[in-house]
Structure 1
Amino acid sequence: MCERDATIIGEPHEACLEPPTEPATYMHQPLSRSLDEIRLLKLRKEEHGPVHCEVEVFPLEQAPEYIALSYRWGPPSPSHDIFIADQRLKIRDILHACLLELREDVDTWLWIDQICIAQADTAERNHQVGMMSRIYSDATSVIVWLGDIPIASPEEVDRFNDKDLRSEDVVSLLENIYFTRLWIVQEILVARRIKIRINGNRCVTWNCLHLKGLPASPIWDLYVEPAAKYLLKISHGYHRSGQDHSMPLMDCIQNFRDSKCQDPRDKVYGFMGVVRVEDRIAVDYNKTVQGVFLDFINVVVNELTVSSSSTTLVCGYIYGLGLQMGIEEFLLKRLNPLLEDRLGDHRYEIVLTVGLEKANLVRRYDRWWFEYKSGRFFWFF
């Protein structure tokens, strides 16, 4: 028998010890969709060792005050273990570095998507992503975590805040890779208050970026992405309380067309929190990428009432989105003539629905169709 108290067997001083028990993998407590429940976490204040936190479930409308985190996920490797009630959960490197920093001085509840959503549960992910704008707008504030950037190094000052920010520093902030990410658009636009953390506990507010602005020189345009500049511009209007600044979905596609995300379906789903009601699409990660692109076409096709001089530009945006989502180029080329027909001969008709008819034994190719009151129109080739 080999017992936990190291019973001696064989030669003297040889002991048989049970190997240490591996911590169990963290299992998310189920959420009630009817109550719009969310998970919140609180970090244990520690200076060394692995990150420990507690997680609790609350209905969103009854949740305690919390801060939402806005950050970029980064690559899946390397990953790190954190511990929730002695159970282990793996998170990505960028978030881990952020939590090591936040645990030193943030003692309130936090909402962090990578931890608070059971990412492998598609039904839960659908529901929680559909609630994202409410989650961020209900938060007392949003922390934008950028990590290390080349201003205000710890050797220079103990703290860094709005009064220390220069226009040149605004450029350094906006050229951070964080501002190339698509999901941050709605996270910033719907937030009540935003604090940007740089190099430790050094913080500046989002409003300060408006006040300082970009340096008055065209050369800075080479450093700052157009999406970041546009986000800075329109966020001022969004942050005025009591006003609805929801945008047409097509405007989001045009202005943030180069913003990046890991899941191609998020090129559409990532804007659902900031688009006007009539343009919203139900989030469903069970759908294929092609299915989500078709949902997008069904929403925007009746907005296509632009002049003929803009037809090529609008079709180009839709074509570009399709390429970024991984839609086959030959399918997109076959969609273009139908869009041009919609903007031309049928520009005054309401499109009832859009579909994609799959190839069969009789017909060699997939083909798009638009249905009007006057009938269904295909592009034949």
Structure 2
Amino acid sequence: MDFTYDSSLVSNELRLLQPVAVNNHVLRYKIRRVQRASTPPYTAISYTWGNEDASEVIYLNNRPFHVRPNLWSCLYYMAHAARNATWNYLWVDAICIDQANVAERNSQVRLMDQTYRDAVCVSVWLGLITLPKETMSYLPTQIPPKTIESDGFDWTESIADLSNRPYWSRVWVIQEFLLGRNVELYCSDNRINWLDFQSILSREAGIEQFYDPNGDVPQGDRTSPLAALPLAMGRHVNKHPEILQPLCDLLIDHHRSKCKDPRDRVFGLLGLIPPDERELLSRFFPDYSITEDHVLIITLAHLTQFPVLSRMLRSGVNITPDSEELFLGLGVRPKSQRRRLLRRAEKLDYLARDSPRQMLQFLALNDQMEEYEGGDTDEQQEIGEIERRRPSNKMRLTVSVVGMSALFVVWLIAKKTKMWR
């Protein structure tokens, strides 16, 4: 029988994993509930979920539990690392939160920043080392390796590859990497501290590692990309943990980051915004029962009515609610959709004392009105306008027939004129 969660966690609880045994590539962990106020030393894992199926098996309390291949590899090496680490337990979101329980998911995601702040360290899993092409040719292509032991691995020689791994492109890892008291990076069985990684990365990019903490984060001027730069350089020894920024800044700065659930473009940044702004947003977020459309409308209402945006100035350009950079951060590209969302956001009295339930009911009522009115959205208006401008097939046929008839008449007149001459 597969592992099942006994009951939902409450907000002051946490589940942690304890490595038990790694025998012949069989991973065994204990999972236990603890109080947040008295957790044993643990590391919070920061990694990329990936798009693969949960095809691999680990054992939780001696019962099978399915995970994705990337997480299996991570847990394998973390079980070995635990033997010589300052922590005894691991926290992994895909396992320590019951992902099928929406109420628990909402509660735990709301405290995600605290989970990473309270960890002894954050362990960043970058994946397995890259084998030479000649070695890869001997491996069966249909079965990717789950473990690759290193032999003379050099972080400096591999920095271009490591700094462009998928990890650096994900929304959730932003707060995970920035909020941890200490950060260790892993690649197969190799470990490096974030400061040493940052040093290698800054040399590769040709920039200063210890920049002015009150200035902009250096991005380098290399022609070849180093995707890790914005995040890796975002940690500063004299700035941490004072790294909170307004939501509009974060959305713009990380507009290229990706996530599987579009709502996480906002939810994944909540731990990085100032307390007064977060207090307003926390009335609604995170809540995975709210539709993506409503998350966007509420966020735009917040950005429109919360006073920070009115003072926004970036590179000498004012940021307004319909700025391109802001919508790219929200993952909304069609301009017609942007106008519709802004129109809906303007109707929402975001700063009112109405309860979140009342506001969500108001949004649902507007959904029904839009549907009742025939979905008269800007998208459909634009399509209708294009169709009105475009002649119908019948009209095109009529124009063609009339044109041919006119040509025939001209030809007859010309022929008769020639005959009478």
Asked if Structure 1 and Structure 2 have the same fold, meaning a TM-score greater than 0.5 normalized by the shorter chain, the answer is yes
Name 1:145's counterpart in structure 2. 125
Choose the corresponding residue for 1:186, options 164, 172, 175.
Answer: 175
Q: 1:219 to 1:319 in 2, by over 3 A?
A: closer
More helix by share: 2
- Spell out the pairing of 1:244-255 with structure 2 (5 A cutoff): 244-255=242-253
Structure 2 stretches lacking a partner, 5+ long: 133-147, 207-219, 353-358, 379-421
More divergent stretch after superposition (210-219 vs 245-254): 210-219
Pair 1:117 & 2:100 matched: no
Q: 1:330 to 1:53 in 2, by over 3 A?
A: same
- Spell out the pairing of 1:1-381 with structure 2 (5 A cutoff): 24-33=1-10, 36-77=12-53, 79-107=55-83, 108-150=88-130, 156-157=151-152, 165-166=155-156, 169-200=158-189, 202-212=190-200, 213-216=202-205, 220-225=222-227, 228-236=228-236, 240=240, 243-280=241-278, 281=281, 282-301=285-304, 302=306, 303-305=308-310, 306=312, 309-311=317-319, 315-322=323-330, 324=331, 330-335=336-341, 352=351, 357-358=366-367, 359=370, 361=372, 365=376
CA contact (8 A) 2:256 2:329 kept: no
Q: 1:175 to 1:139 in 2, by over 3 A?
A: same
Offset at residue 119 of structure 1 (A): 0.4
Offset at residue 310 of structure 1 (A): 3.2
**Structure 2 SS opposite 1:235:** coil
Offset at residue 151 of structure 1 (A): 8.9
CA–CA separation in structure 1 for the residues paired with 2:105 and 2:301: 23
AA paired with 2:4? M
1:284-306, Cα deviation, whole Å (9 max, x unpaired): 00100011112211222133324
CA contact (8 A) 2:175 2:269 kept: yes
**Structure 1 SS opposite 2:26:** coil
**Structure 1 SS opposite 2:376:** coil
AA paired with 1:113? D
Name 1:14's counterpart in structure 2. none
Number of equivalences:
321
Identical pairs, percent: 26
Offset at residue 98 of structure 1 (A): 1.4
CA–CA separation in structure 2 for the residues paired with 1:316 and 1:85: 50
1:339-376, Cα deviation, whole Å (9 max, x unpaired): 9xx9xxxxxxx974798644265575358xxxxxxxxx
CA–CA separation in structure 2 for the residues paired with 1:66 and 1:331: 44
Q: 1:43 to 1:149 in 2, by over 3 A?
A: same
CA contact (8 A) 2:129 2:187 kept: yes
1:184-208, Cα deviation, whole Å (9 max, x unpaired): 10001110111111132x1111011
1:52-98, Cα deviation, whole Å (9 max, x unpaired): 11111001111111111111011242511211122221111110111
**Structure 1 SS opposite 2:23:** coil
CA–CA separation in structure 2 for the residues paired with 1:58 and 1:334: 46
Offset at residue 38 of structure 1 (A): 0.6
AA paired with 1:289? E
**Structure 2 SS opposite 1:25:** coil
CA contact (8 A) 1:141 1:194 kept: yes
Q: 1:136 to 1:239 in 2, by over 3 A?
A: farther
CA–CA separation in structure 1 for the residues paired with 2:320 and 2:223: 26
CA contact (8 A) 1:39 1:116 kept: yes
CA–CA separation in structure 1 for the residues paired with 2:31 and 2:344: 51
**Structure 1 SS opposite 2:126:** strand
CA–CA separation in structure 2 for the residues paired with 1:221 and 1:214: 15
AA paired with 1:222? S
**Structure 2 SS opposite 1:264:** coil
CA–CA separation in structure 2 for the residues paired with 1:76 and 1:121: 21
**Structure 1 SS opposite 2:167:** helix
CA–CA separation in structure 1 for the residues paired with 2:325 and 2:64: 44
CA–CA separation in structure 2 for the residues paired with 1:112 and 1:309: 41
Offset at residue 237 of structure 1 (A): 5.5
CA contact (8 A) 2:252 2:328 kept: no
Structure 1 stretches lacking a partner, 5+ long: 1-23, 343-349, 368-381
**Structure 2 SS opposite 1:83:** strand
Larger radius of gyration: 2
CA contact (8 A) 2:309 2:320 kept: no
AA paired with 2:224? L
CA–CA separation in structure 2 for the residues paired with 1:237 and 1:131: 24
CA contact (8 A) 1:26 1:87 kept: yes
CA–CA separation in structure 2 for the residues paired with 1:154 and 1:89: 25
Offset at residue 231 of structure 1 (A): 1.4
More divergent stretch after superposition (285-294 vs 169-178): 169-178
Q: 1:222 to 1:123 in 2, by over 3 A?
A: same
AA paired with 1:206? W
TM-score, scaled relative to structure 2:
0.68
CA contact (8 A) 1:31 1:57 kept: no
1:309-336, Cα deviation, whole Å (9 max, x unpaired): 43579611233244x26x8753313456
